Structure 1
Amino acid sequence: MKIVYVVPGPMDDEEVKRRGELLKNWAFPGTDVEIVNVNEGPASIESMYEEYLSIPATAKVMFELERKGYDAAILGCAGDPGLDAMREITDKMLVLGPGQTSMIVGAALGHKFSVITIEETMIASTYELAFKAGVLDKLASVVSVAIPVLQLKLKKEKSLKKIIEAGIKAVKEDRADALVLGCMSMGFLDVAQEIEKAVGVPIVNPSKVGLKMAEAMVGSGLMHSKTAFATPTKISSRRVKDLDELYIRK
């Protein structure tokens, strides 16, 4: 199977390569996984406004990737920006949002789960995402580590310490049975085992779980529902062949 991970914004080539190697290491034998980054948009996503900024350019990339024959695409942000739209414009390529996917997995691992996010600005939208995923009743809390996305890898040891502290707080005070890392950059630190050892509950890494769920769904012959995410009529009727044709410019 062919799976592509789409970073919804510009990213340094070296970091793209590093993440691509991790994805290849995590993939099952026989899975061809690639990584693509979108060349325009916010450098990091730490607010709903930045999520919305990332959607148009990412949608164009998704539309083209389906034409290249990929079986599944992973939207590379734990906020799942534009997931509904990405699913509307694709009808042969499964599109997964690692945020919702990881929450569903976290909810399956115990009675309650908590999400560890980056900044306070992402707490409200994380609750909204849990509602959309259908697991709000099982969300114990959302805890911020107050570290900007672009600083997570630069200060890895500090990041790990603060994630563990936030995790211990969620387990002890909020009675979380599992923890979900609420940021893909956090997931690509590849420290879930260290956190789990320190905290004592399962840690859901969205970067890895997003890939494994894509493999499982493609292997099971599953596709996102086209009654839930109907193809826009202008596309299904072939009145437009490219997403740029949906824009009106003066």
Structure 2
Amino acid sequence: MSALIKGTQEGGSPACLQGRFSSALLVNCPGVEDPGMSIPANATEAPSITKVWRQVKGNASTFTTIWGLILITGLINSIFSELFHYLINVGADSAAEILPSTLIASWVVSLPTAILANLAAILMTATSAIYYTTDRCSKPGEIVSIITRKPLRYVLAGFLFSIAVGIGLLLCIIPGILMALAQPLYVYYVFTTDLDLMTCLSKAFKAMFQDLGSYVLVSFLRSLALAGSIILCVFPVLVVYPMGELYMQNYIHHKGLVRARELA
């Protein structure tokens, strides 16, 4: 108490002094940062490797949690699928004896774990989209709630996107590739708005064409960096992947391809 009175008498701000004892008030003190606050996304700023690296490093616990979920769900899906296939093969002397109905049943049974693994995989993009929309990175304890908030919407969104890409590839390959490239935009609309899924898909595809050449180039360079990190040593992908997703979200906001908190 005496220190507080002394500080006030010497010209210190009472709010600032109290803030030193409470993290909730640290924001009131010049030069003192709240450890609970994430690095602002600053979506209107031009994207840079330095910027997204700083964001990944500053929110390392969040991206580590996402990687943990990706690896765990992927492992569960792999083990479950291999086990079911093994049980099918044990009951058949050759691959020719495996009935189509059995293969379909195998696919249906393994579908839940496959969906779970894919939901976890999309979290890296979804978290980046939410980060650049709200200017706040989700904390580790909030990651799972991103998916559980509207699970049916996200599952259906995945099926719709897969169908759209598949149809595009069948038509002439290039439309399918372009649709696949629109994924960051599509994820943005699905996870940050309440628009129906067809509208999300349409808006994502149209937004990409606002600056198609630049968008394709940035997407290509991001894919190249990701492939390079996998080929070189694999481990760099743990950092390169989230950096790429953050860079893409920063890019689409900076270019005005999406509007923050767009509702219609």
Q: TM-score, normalised by structure 1?
A: 0.26
Q: Which has the higher helix share?
A: 2
Larger Rg: 2
Q: TM-score, normalised by structure 2?
A: 0.25
